Amino acid sequence: MAGRTGIIGRVMNNINETIIKLLEKRGITSQEDIAEFLSDKPQRTHSAALLDDIEAGAELIISEAKKGSRICIYGDYDADGITSTALMLSILGHLTGKEKLGYYIPSRFEEGYGLNMDAVKSIADSGYDMIITVDCGSVSAEEVAYAQQLGMTILVTDHHNITDKMAGCLLINPKKPGSRYPFRELSGCGVAFKVAQVIQQKAGLPKSVLSEVLDLVAIGTVGDIMPLVDENRTMVKFGLKTINMGRRPGLRRLAEGAGLKVGTITSENLGFIIVPHLNASGRIEDASQAVKLLTAEEGDTEIDRIVEDLLFKNQERRRLQNETYKSCSEGLDKDNPEDFILIRSEDAHEGIAGIVAGKIKDTFYRPSVILTPTGSEGQLLKGTGRSIEGVNLYQLLKAHEELFEKFGGHAGACGFTMKAENFDALKQGLLSEMKVLCEDNGDIFIKKYAVDMDLDFSDITVDFADQLQMLAPFGNANPKPLFRLVNVTLTDVKYMGNDNQHVRFAACDREGNTVQCVLFNKAAEYGLSLYARRPVELIGSLESQVWQGTKRLQFMVEKIKFD
């Protein structure tokens, strides 16, 4: 206990009082919790044994491996599913020969999310004795029963909400009804890691088999936008350390190819660069190659080819995304958009529809859904949507579920399939419900900025900006602190980018103190009014950057408010 107290004292020593206030605003108040949050080596984890079926599940895996069974890992086509699959393959590789292991990632376009009957049959026909699902399978009751009928053993590991009949097999999921696990918000890769912990203990494997896969957990957790608090925070912090050691050759080459410097990679780099490149494989074609990249060993001649292909596919994804956004948004009324934006697009690429819906949502600040034709003759529409704060997309769709062949999602995102003939009824119903919401909340279409506190220019120092980085990794449930600068004037305005979409300027207070500012992608919202020498209010975050060997401060602007 004395050692732990000493650690707390060292962490708390010389911490800026504003950092403490920021943590208190986030509900972190005790010295021990503050020290844990800021620690470079956090200790908050939970016993894997608290997950239902995990002991029996780990024993089943070890038993099947000892028997020489052929085992197939069944994942998903997003970054969480890809990393979960790679993690499970890595752990099982310490129990059995690689020739006994395989994996199956369904096609986003032909099969969709989760287990499906044809895939189960194909896996059985390929001679596999066992299926282990990762990041899917909790409600695949019929598919699991079918696998069992075909004589296969099946184990489900997952993290999704269980809203339907549960699979009739060992099922490891922190959201399982009655679960004793104290933290429900693990990613699919996080659940796979907990299974790996129990396997390591029961099989007597060295602990290094766990530390070497924490990089995958970090990517899966950030990629699935899981809250970066509690145990997730611990795993992502250690995972980033592993990533920055550059020991996974495929990931290292991908990072370098995408312009990142190994040793300085952050959670934001994962979310905005690494994850999109991994996801691009499944969005454009086949996610299986991303698994191959993450499991490749040093010297594998396939690494460079796969990295080059992923870089190309991500560029193609961006091209398709920009083209689709342009075609989908050009008919919308920018000054008076509908309260709920539904767009039928005959040629939108299914793999990027969700991204475009998100961009339209951000641009017009309205819940937005893009619908594309699907089915043999296009008689069905597949919808993908994103929502704004205060509009629960799942609840809105639930009220019209009779119109859907199937649907799912949560407050911020949705997916559904419906008959094309039901489009008008859905649109009318959603617009009617939005009208009621707008009457109850007149500010629903005004974007809210959760400002943490006002900053005086005397607070803006390199030391303070450096200490802000102790609050990282940033992401869901732990965003970068937002600050407000009031009564500042703007000078030295310089537009940047091919379309002058970015702008750099200096903000000055009444005493003549200045801080350099950058506003990305939103310059057109303000136009020449930026030149007005009247007091404004800036909302944004503070960073320190190294430029030509010298540290400098920069205020990253999110919003400019004119009086």
Examine the pLDDT at 214 and tell me if it is beyond 90: yes
What CATH architecture applies to the domain 48-312? Alpha-Beta Complex (3.90)
Q: How many CB atoms lie within 10 A of CB 192?
A: 34
pLDDT tens, 404-422? 998 887 888 888 999 999 9
Examine the pLDDT at 135 and tell me if it is beyond 50: yes
Examine the pLDDT at 377 and tell me if it is beyond 80: no
- Cα separation, 155 vs 58, in Å, equals 10
CA 45, distance to chain mean position in Å, is: 21
The CATH number that domain 453-562 falls under is 2.40.50.460
Asked whether 61 and 51 are in contact (CB, 8 A), the reply is no
Q: String of b and e for 383-406 (b: at least 16 CB within 10 Å)?
A: bbbbbbeebbbbebbeebeebbee
- Give me the phi and psi of 516, to 5 degrees please: -75, 140
pLDDT band at 10 (very low <50, low <70, confident <90, very high): low
Asked whether 467 and 484 are in contact (CB, 8 A), the reply is no
Q: In CATH, which of 3.40.190.290, 3.10.310.30, 3.90.79.10, 3.40.50.300 is domain 331-440?
A: 3.10.310.30
- Compute the C-alpha angle 15/481/538, nearest 5°: 120
pLDDT band at 191 (very low <50, low <70, confident <90, very high): very high
pLDDT band at 349 (very low <50, low <70, confident <90, very high): confident
Examine the pLDDT at 158 and tell me if it is beyond 80: yes
Determine the pLDDT at residue 548: 76
Q: What is the 3-state secondary structure (H, E, C) of 83-104?
A: HHHHHHHHHHCCCCCHHHEEEE
Interacting residues of 294 by C-beta distance below 8 A, sequence separation 6+: 82, 83, 86, 216, 248, 250, 251
- Cα separation, 245 vs 263, in Å, equals 6
Token readout for 44 is 């908050």
Does residue 47 come out as left (phi exceeding 0), alpha (psi in the -120 to 50 range) or beta?
A: beta
Lowest average pLDDT, out of 64-78, 111-125, 371-385, goes to 371-385
Calculate mean pLDDT across residues 106-115: 87
Sheet holding 368-374, edge to edge: 341-344, 368-374, 380-386, 413-419, 404-409
Determine the pLDDT at residue 551: 85
pLDDT tens, 461-503? 999 999 999 999 999 999 999 999 999 999 999 999 988 899 9
Determine the pLDDT at residue 331: 86
Token readout for 543 is 């960073």
Examine the pLDDT at 528 and tell me if it is beyond 90: no
- Cα separation, 478 vs 267, in Å, equals 11
Examine the pLDDT at 1 and tell me if it is beyond 80: no
In the chain the first and final C-alpha atoms are separated, in Å, by 55
Calculate mean pLDDT across residues 270-287: 94
pLDDT tens, 222-276? 999 999 999 999 999 999 999 999 999 999 999 999 999 999 999 999 999 999 9
Examine the pLDDT at 6 and tell me if it is beyond 60: no
- Compute the C-alpha angle 542/546/549, nearest 5°: 155
Determine the pLDDT at residue 534: 84
Determine the pLDDT at residue 236: 98
pLDDT band at 359 (very low <50, low <70, confident <90, very high): very high
pLDDT band at 109 (very low <50, low <70, confident <90, very high): confident
Interacting residues of 384 by C-beta distance below 8 A, sequence separation 6+: 353, 354, 357, 369, 370, 413, 414, 415
Calculate mean pLDDT across residues 194-202: 98
pLDDT band at 163 (very low <50, low <70, confident <90, very high): confident
pLDDT band at 30 (very low <50, low <70, confident <90, very high): very high
Q: How many CB atoms lie within 10 A of CB 153?
A: 19
Of 481, 503, 500, the closest CA to residue 492 belongs to 503
Residue type for position 244: N
- The conformation of residue 320, written as its DSSP 8-state character, comes to H
Of 115, 112, 121, 107, the closest CA to residue 140 belongs to 115
Please report, for the chain, the start and end positions of each structural domain, with discontinuous segments joined by +. Answer: 2-38, 48-312, 331-440, 453-562
- Cα separation, 69 vs 63, in Å, equals 9
Average predicted confidence (pLDDT) for the chain: 93
Nearest 10 degrees: Cα torsion 177, 182, 186, 192: -80
Calculate mean pLDDT across residues 554-560: 95
Determine the pLDDT at residue 342: 97
pLDDT band at 111 (very low <50, low <70, confident <90, very high): confident
Determine the pLDDT at residue 515: 96
Residue type for position 227: P
Examine the pLDDT at 145 and tell me if it is beyond 60: yes
